[in-house]
Amino acid sequence: MIITKKKPNEEILESLSGAHTVFVAGCGSCALKCANSDEKSVALMKEFLEQNGKKVLQAFTVESACDMRLVKRDLLKNENFKNADAVLALSCGAGVQAIETVCAKEVIPALNSSYVGTTERIGVYKKFCSVCGSCVLALTGGICPKTRCAKGLVNGPCGGFVNGKCEIDADKDCAWVLIYEKLKKNGALDKFVNQYLKPA
Amino acid sequence: MKFKEKLESGKFLITAELFPPKGVDVSAFLRRAQSLKDLDAVNVTDNQRASMRAGSLAMCKLLLERGIEPVLQLTCRDKNRIALQSELLSANILGIENVLILSGDHTDAGEYKGTKTVYDLDTVQLIKTARLLETGFDLAGKKLSGAPKFCVGAVVNPSATPDELQALMLEKKVKAGAEFFQTQTVFDAARYKNFYDKVKHTNAVILPGVTLIKSPKFMSFLQSLPGVYIPQEVQDRINGAADPLAEGIKICAQTIKELRSFARGVHIMAIGMEEFIPEIIRASCVL
């Protein structure tokens, strides 16, 4: 899912400075799972905006803000949505732009989109995939060097790993050492030596 | 004899490296270069440790004009495939054939933290790209008007653990077209021998790196660099020496002497103290 992080309140207020009436649009998908668009977060945002002089016409959670079909179904006929000076979207950038595309209103993001994350538990996410469009996991033991190597090297490591850790972060495993251990376990090191991944 | 020919000659090769200036005053660079005029080749680093300095290409040209055969270091960190190929062609036009291809220290470890890194090509891809350009074509499949000719080098770190992974990378870079290797610094010749035994079947010409430790403070700095291993005995000798620089010269010369028995050469990194390199080399012959 898309991992999001709430923007600072000051930035949100600054972005909404030209709007008096606001429609708060939450997202019932990834942002909700990140606890950035759940019932409590949406209510808190509404309260915060009202405390700062905004008139919140409605706070409503779209099933999935990045799905233009659902945005059209749930928002286009909503009078509060239509009347609001601006829409504050508690969603990822794909959701913000889906809403903007279907309504052409001023849509302000309340969240920053960080990465495609793998969930370990709520609040603990791993960046394992860069959605690069040319997956190499079949060749790298199911561990993505494009994402998990700090340099994104696809044909093997640099010389900076120290005891299996990355040269720029002693707490982070070197992706290529993980790949090496996996390929070694699978008896696939010969394949690694002879394998060449061309520039994407 | 060119460096490329020397690689096949069986001669014990000695190279060193110089940093370009941070600024436009090249006087110290040229003074240091004078100490290295009898070496087999002299590398010029490419914004080493992700710092910002004058370009390797310009400094290589200055060396060439003074009869010193340069090795252009080229990292994948700062340039995309267009700029990397262009740099390789430019080098060749200026008469520079030797290139050492590295991934480059990550910007988060340097003085420009947060800088966008490129790594559009990795080292294996860039080695193959240099070889491709020699065939008269570029990565886009376009024909070149005049093909360059290179002597392509690469790096490995014999001290990185697991070292088997570095040995595999050496083999992979040989397959990609690397003709010679210069390594991360080695202070323990016996430990390097263990690595060398893992890769000698490739017949690659490997010049293990040796570094002159000039002071205890400099030694601490070295230890903070990725993948540098300094044995306790060396640490004790530097820390206990009345004249740490003299002791550093002795340690460096002793390491080279030990390496002479099985290595094809050495790559000396004196880091601003290049004037002592001739003394180190002399001492390594007579110790």
DSSP string, A96-118: HHHHHHHH-SEEEESEEEEEEEE
Instruction: Please report which confidence band the pLDDT of residue B287 belongs to, taking 50, 70 and 90 as the band edges.
Output: low
CATH of the domain at B88: 3.20.20.220
| C-alpha count within 13 angstroms, C-beta hemisphere, residue B125 | 24
Which chain A residues have a beta carbon less than 8 Å from that of B227? Answer: 159-162, 167
Q: How far is B208 from chain A (nearest CA, A)?
A: 14
Structure tokens at B46: 């490419």
pLDDT in tens, A5-22: 999 999 999 999 999 999
Query: Which residues lie across from A169 on neighbouring strands?
Result: A166
Ordered by start, the domain boundaries in chain A are: 2-115, 131-194
Which contiguous run of DSSP H or E holds residue A41? helix A39-51
Q: Does B155 touch chain A (CB under 8 A)?
A: yes
B133, B85 in Cβ contact below 8 A?
yes
What global pTM score does this model have?
A: 0.93
Strand (E) positions, chain A?
2-6, 21-27, 55-62, 86-90, 106-109, 111-121, 124-129, 165-166, 169-173
Instruction: Please report which confidence band the pLDDT of residue B226 belongs to, taking 50, 70 and 90 as the band edges.
Output: confident
Please tell us whether the domain made up of A2-115 is placed in CATH 3.40.50.300: no
Q: Are strands A169-173 and A21-27 parallel, antiparallel or unpaired?
A: unpaired
* pLDDT averaged over every residue in chain B: 96
Q: Residues 6 or more apart from B39 whose CB is under 8 A from it? A: B14, B15, B16, B68, B277
Q: How far is B157 from chain A (nearest CA, A)?
A: 5
Name the residue among A155, A159, A180 with its Cβ closest to that of B227: A159
- For an interface test with B, give the residue of A158, A179, A185, A194 to mutate (most B CBs within 10 A): A158
Please give the backbone phi and psi of residue B155, each rounded to the nearest 5 degrees, phi first. -125, 155
* Percent helix, strand and coil across chain A, each to the nearest 5: 35, 25, 35
| Count of beta carbons in the 10 Å neighbourhood of residue A142 | 11
Q: Do B106 and A150 touch (CB under 8 A)?
A: yes
> Which region, left, alpha or beta, applies to residue B23 given φ > 0 means left and ψ of -120 to 50 means alpha?
left
Which chain A residues have a beta carbon less than 8 Å from that of B81? Answer: 199
On whether residue B52 sits in a domain, the answer given is yes
Q: Residue B7 pLDDT > 70, yes or no?
A: yes
How many angstroms separate the Cα of A176 from the Cα of each of A36, A162, A185, B104?
34, 12, 14, 16
Q: Is the dihedral of CA A51, A57, A63, A68 positive or negative?
A: negative
Which chain B residues have a beta carbon less than 8 Å from that of A193? Answer: 168, 171-172, 175
On whether residue B276 sits in a domain, the answer given is no
The one-letter amino acid at A95: G
Query: In which domain, by residue range, is B38 found?
Result: 14-212+264-271
On whether residue B104 sits in a domain, the answer given is yes
User: Average pLDDT for residues B164-191, to the nearest whole number?
Assistant: 97
Instruction: Please report which confidence band the pLDDT of residue B225 belongs to, taking 50, 70 and 90 as the band edges.
Output: confident
Which contiguous run of DSSP H or E holds residue B198? helix B189-199
How many angstroms separate the Cα of A107 from the Cα of each of A80, B249, B273?
14, 66, 60
On whether residue B223 sits in a domain, the answer given is no
Size of the A and B interface in Cβ pairs below 8 Å: 96
Q: Residues 6 or more apart from B280 whose CB is under 8 A from it? A: B212, B249, B252, B253, B256, B268, B270
pLDDT > 70 in chain B, percent = 100
Which chain A residues have a beta carbon less than 8 Å from that of B123? Answer: 153, 155, 158
ipTM, 2 decimals?
0.94
| Count of beta carbons in the 10 Å neighbourhood of residue B130 | 23
The domain total for chain B is 1
The SS3 of residue B115 is coil
pLDDT in tens, A20-61: 999 999 999 999 999 999 999 999 999 999 999 999 999 999
Q: Are strands B70-75 and B98-102 parallel, antiparallel or unpaired?
A: parallel
Report how far Cα A86 is from the mean position of its chain's Cα atoms.
23
Burial annotation B86-106 (CB, 10 A radius, 16+ → b, else e): ebbbebbeeebbbbbbbbbbb
On whether residue B60 sits in a domain, the answer given is yes
Q: Does A177 touch chain B (CB under 8 A)?
A: yes
Name the residue among B119, B155, B169 with its Cβ closest to that of A156: B169
Which contiguous run of DSSP H or E holds residue A191? helix A189-194
Which chain B residues have a beta carbon less than 8 Å from that of A161? Answer: 160-161, 165, 226-227
For residue B177, the 8-state DSSP code is T
Q: Are strands A2-6 and A111-121 parallel, antiparallel or unpaired?
A: antiparallel
Which chain A residues have a beta carbon less than 8 Å from that of B186? Answer: none
Q: How far is A7 from chain B (nearest CA, A)?
A: 20
